[in-house]
Amino acid sequence: MQHNENAQERMNLLSAFTSGWKAGHIGIPYLLIQHYKQLKLTEVDVMLMVHVMAFMEKENKEFPTLDELQGRMSVTPEKVIASLQKLLKEGHLSIDEGIDPVNGMQCEKYNLDPLLERLAGVWYEEELQRRKALETVKPTTRKDIFSIFEKEFARPLTPMELESITGWLDKDQYNEPLILAGLKEAVFAGKVHFRYIDRILLEWNRNRITTVEQAKEHSQKFRSSR
């Protein structure tokens, strides 16, 4: 039973990771730079992948040519070709075939899902260890606050969102009731996203608000003045 729960949690987290990247909430190049050594990638491999992502995301080119990729890198063309072959052979990158919706001709495009899945796997193992460490220090409350946010968002939290909550607790030293009050305020305003909650908490901190009661008074005054 425990094994099934862990497997389901892993699937949920990997799904959140992939969805978070596609929605723009997760910076894959940053995670790639953090973990490429664990994936046995070289600096050339990393930069090649970053350029492929840039072409796909910023220039809407799903299959940049070798000349285009080589033109943006400082290593020799031979090294670019060798790196691309390695990435394809080792399954970090794949090429899909399809039909161009504009001209109806067969076309090819790079598929980053294999890389996403591997990065998600590396992240998941680290996140699992981090959660275990947190539960050792605070066996109930910290786990609860993650669950409350996930329930309010109606989905698993992304890695960056989990880090945001941890940062509020550990770095900013906001207490948990105040963070949950910020979440409630965001729900009330119809702006349920982390940047808005972060702005609320920052505003409260600037006004030396440290309790839920003070936060309620401040919010009521703000609404009255509008």
> pLDDT tens, position by position, for the chain (226 residues)?
545 556 666 666 666 666 665 655 455 777 888 889 989 999 999 999 999 999 988 898 999 999 999 999 999 999 999 999 999 999 999 999 988 878 888 999 999 889 888 887 887 777 777 666 555 544 445 668 988 999 888 888 888 888 899 999 989 999 999 999 999 999 988 898 999 999 999 999 999 998 999 998 888 887 676 5
Residue 19 burial (10 A CB sphere; 0-12, 13-18, 19+): middle
Residue 92 is predicted with a pLDDT of 94
Q: Are 36 and 48 in contact (CB under 8 A)?
A: no
What are the angstrom distances between the C-alpha of 205 and each of 149, 168, 186, 190, 224? 21, 11, 16, 22, 20
Give the pLDDT of residue 48: 96
What is the CATH number assigned to the segment(s) 139-225?
1.10.10.630
First and final CA of the chain: distance in angstroms?
53
Q: Kindly list the domain boundaries of the chain, sorted by start residue.
A: 2-117, 139-225
Q: How far apart (Å, rounded) are the C-alpha atoms in residues 109 and 53?
A: 12
Q: What is the pLDDT of residue 133?
A: 59
- pLDDT value at position 55? 93
Fold match between domain 2-117 and domain 139-225: yes
CATH architecture of 2-117: Orthogonal Bundle (1.10)
